[in-house]
A and B are shown apart, each in its own frame.
Chain A
Amino acid sequence: MIDLIQNTIDGVMIGSSYGLLALGFTLIFGVMRRLDLAYGPSIMIGAYFGTILYLHYGAGPFAVAIAVVIGAAIAGIYVERLCFAPMKAGAAIASMVSSFAIWMQLEQAALLVLPRHTYPFPPLSTGAPLAFGPFLVRIDHLIMLVSTLGLTAVVHLTLHRTRFGLALRAIIGNPVAAHLVGIDVRRAVLVAFAGASSVGGAAGFLVLAVDQQVTPMFGMWATMKGLIAMMIGGLGSVPGAVVGGVLLGIVEAHSQWYFGPQIRDLVAYFLLFAFLVVRPRGLLGCPPDSVLPQKA
């Protein structure tokens, strides 16, 4: 019983970082209605910025965090300019394939700059875990959870309480109508991409600070985790992204405990498969027809 609860606690903590990854993914998907496979690799580029600062200048965790977020935002803007801005409406496949090409390119770029397979990443906290009765909570896990809740609240309030958020939701609702009411759609999309990649960068920093190492493969890892959590939570839903991430984290923690790390990923993919078959819109996604303009 204690194991069960401890595993669930760990799952929620790790899952919150998946939720944060999915949050950035959700913003990009919502605004573009296209899959950005280079989302994870953009975060990995940010992580390499941070690692370089750490290795060469001995930067502390805070400075590294800022560098990761800024680096990811710059990489996100690069991806948007190359894979999304030039593509005409309806060319969703072209965007997806070109984002795959950029993924490969970013991975190679990372290998050119830092050729070894792994590099150290600064830890967030090396203190002993906090004890709550029989249960232990790592301090960096706690920071992860709190950051996720905080950033989710920031994203939610931005979307629902600001002028820019109104513009983004209008674009998500109907891009043509967004043009017609005078929203500068191209600019808003670019800013949204930078913002979403920054959120992803924050998630990437938190994960890597727990792992204390970074590899070029982190990009693929981040894309996969973010994608699965987003699909489970519901395409286009901000709360759904976080809920999906937490659920994925809990399932992974338990399957790792009972079946070991190899089976863990298998279970995660099975969970995705089960959702796609049984409930393709995810936990909190809208029914597909309510998103489209209604006929009279």
Chain B
Amino acid sequence: MLDISDLVTAYGKIDALKGVSLQVETGKITCLLGPNGAGKTTLMMTIAGLLHPRRGSIRLAGTELVGLSPARIVAHGIALVPENRLVFPQMSVRENLLAGAYQRNDKVGIDADLERMYARFPRLKERNEQLAGTLSGGEQQMLAVARALMSRPRVLLMDEPSLGLAPLIVAEIFNIVHELNRDGTTIFLVEQNAHMALQVAHRFLLMEQGRITFKGMPGQLAEAEVIQRAYLGTRRAVG
């Protein structure tokens, strides 16, 4: 579904992504693990069009996304649940969801999707008219996920959805990830929480210092090694 090849993204003279190639398969959960500073968020921002790669290609079902504006990329079917959620704090829950459907014009479909989101996330329905900035961290995360789904994405990107949340809430978020995927959503997940991520992922990738250093299935690598490399990187693990 999503086919990335030889992607290089730089901040000034420093390459944050040094030739990343990977595939996200239709209907699967693909999980990207790696230590801080490996370039995971840079990769997500590049796919979403907020950062421009120096070279390489990002294809969604054959369509090249590199060079398109973030708005066009959303229209093509990519939705990113950003790190730290980034809900619109001064807008109500409902308005946040409507903003998520900004690229769509089918009012009937949007209303139906609103109802689907309320059914899936009852907390959001309870807090429909409340300002998003007043929600708890877990509720904001659910809102960020629901907002992304409102664009009816073909691939849902999630950047560290468990960040800063209590363990119970993290479990709930991963349960939602699992359910969304069971209902047919293709998910590309970036995580620090390797233990939880390996439980839901069909495929996983390790990223270290701007490169993909391992691709495989959960269970192919001992969890202890995955965790070590995901948190610390290979170099220190070897040393």
The residues of A with any CB-CB pair to B shorter than 8 Å are: 163, 166-167, 169-170, 172-174, 176-185, 286, 290-296
Binds A, one of B5-13, B77-85, B118-126: B77-85
Q: In the complex, are the beta carbons of A180 and B82 less than 8 A apart? A: yes
Q: In the complex, are the beta carbons of B103 and A182 less than 8 A apart? A: yes
- Please give the distance in Å from B83's CB to the nearest CB on chain A: 10
| Residues in A neighbouring B147, C-beta threshold 8 A | 181
- Jot down 7 A-B pairs with beta carbons below 8 A, ordered by A: A169-B90, A170-B88, A173-B89, A179-B48, A179-B70, A182-B70, A290-B133
Please report which residues of chain B, range 96-135, place their CB below 8 angstroms from some CB of chain A when the two chains form the complex. Answer: 98-100, 102-103, 133, 135
| Residues in A neighbouring B79, C-beta threshold 8 A | 180
Q: In the complex, are the beta carbons of A167 and B91 less than 8 A apart? A: no
| Residues in B neighbouring A291, C-beta threshold 8 A | 89-90
Q: In the complex, are the beta carbons of B82 and A169 less than 8 A apart? A: no
B90 — nearest CB in chain A belongs to which residue?
A173
Q: In the complex, are the beta carbons of A180 and B80 less than 8 A apart? A: yes
| Residues in A neighbouring B190, C-beta threshold 8 A | none
Docked pose: A67 CA to B174 CA in angstroms? 58
| Residues in A neighbouring B69, C-beta threshold 8 A | 184
Q: In the complex, are the beta carbons of B140 and A296 less than 8 A apart? A: yes
| Residues in B neighbouring A293, C-beta threshold 8 A | 84-87, 89, 133
- The 8 A-B pairs of least Cβ separation, nearest first, read A296-B137, A182-B74, A173-B88, A296-B164, A182-B103, A177-B86, A179-B70, A182-B71
Docked pose: A180 CA to B102 CA in angstroms? 10
| Residues in A neighbouring B90, C-beta threshold 8 A | 169, 172-173, 286, 290-291
Residue from B75, B82, B102 in contact with A176 in the complex, judged by beta carbons closer than 8 Å:
B82
Q: Is the interface of A mostly helix, strand, loop or mixed?
A: helix
- Known A-B contacts A170-B99, A173-B90, A296-B165; A181 and B74 likewise in contact (beta carbons under 8 Å): yes
| Residues in A neighbouring B136, C-beta threshold 8 A | 296
- Known A-B contacts A166-B99, A180-B48, A181-B99; A174 and B89 likewise in contact (beta carbons under 8 Å): yes
Q: In the complex, are the beta carbons of A183 and B71 less than 8 A apart? A: yes
Q: In the complex, are the beta carbons of B102 and A183 less than 8 A apart? A: yes
Other contacts beyond A177-B88, A294-B140: 7, CB < 8 A: A170-B99, A173-B90, A179-B49, A182-B70, A182-B74, A290-B89, A294-B133
Q: Tell yes or no: B95 within 8 A of A by CB.
A: yes
Q: Tell yes or no: B30 within 8 A of A by CB.
A: no
| Residues in A neighbouring B48, C-beta threshold 8 A | 179-180
Q: In the complex, are the beta carbons of B86 and A176 less than 8 A apart? A: yes
A183 — nearest CB in chain B belongs to which residue?
B102
B88 — nearest CB in chain A belongs to which residue?
A173
Q: In the complex, are the beta carbons of B102 and A167 less than 8 A apart? A: yes
Q: Tell yes or no: B151 within 8 A of A by CB.
A: yes
- Please give the distance in Å from B110's CB to the nearest CB on chain A: 11
- Please give the distance in Å from A281's CB to the nearest CB on chain B: 14
- Please give the distance in Å from A106's CB to the nearest CB on chain B: 31
Q: Tell yes or no: B50 within 8 A of A by CB.
A: yes
Per-residue CB proximity of B43-86 to A under 8 Å, as 1/0? Answer: 00000111000000000000000000111001100011010111
Q: In the complex, are the beta carbons of B137 and A295 less than 8 A apart? A: yes
B75 — nearest CB in chain A belongs to which residue?
A182
Q: In the complex, are the beta carbons of A166 and B95 less than 8 A apart? A: yes
- Known A-B contacts A182-B74, A182-B151; A292 and B82 likewise in contact (beta carbons under 8 Å): no
Q: In the complex, are the beta carbons of B137 and A294 less than 8 A apart? A: yes
- Please give the distance in Å from B204's CB to the nearest CB on chain A: 24
- Please give the distance in Å from A178's CB to the nearest CB on chain B: 8
A179 — nearest CB in chain B belongs to which residue?
B70
| Residues in B neighbouring A292, C-beta threshold 8 A | 89
Residue of B69, B70, B148 with highest tally of chain A CB at under 10 A: B70
B79 — nearest CB in chain A belongs to which residue?
A180
Residue of B69, B138, B147 with highest tally of chain A CB at under 10 A: B69
Q: In the complex, are the beta carbons of A179 and B88 less than 8 A apart? A: no
| Residues in B neighbouring A295, C-beta threshold 8 A | 84, 137, 164
Docked pose: A292 CA to B89 CA in angstroms? 7
Docked pose: A294 CA to B140 CA in angstroms? 9
| Residues in B neighbouring A290, C-beta threshold 8 A | 89-90, 133
Docked pose: A286 CA to B89 CA in angstroms? 12
Per-residue CB proximity of B159-193 to A under 8 Å, as 1/0? Answer: 00001110000000000000000000000000000
Docked pose: A178 CA to B102 CA in angstroms? 10
- Please give the distance in Å from A177's CB to the nearest CB on chain B: 4
Docked pose: A178 CA to B50 CA in angstroms? 11
Q: In the complex, are the beta carbons of A182 and B88 less than 8 A apart? A: no
Docked pose: A290 CA to B89 CA in angstroms? 7
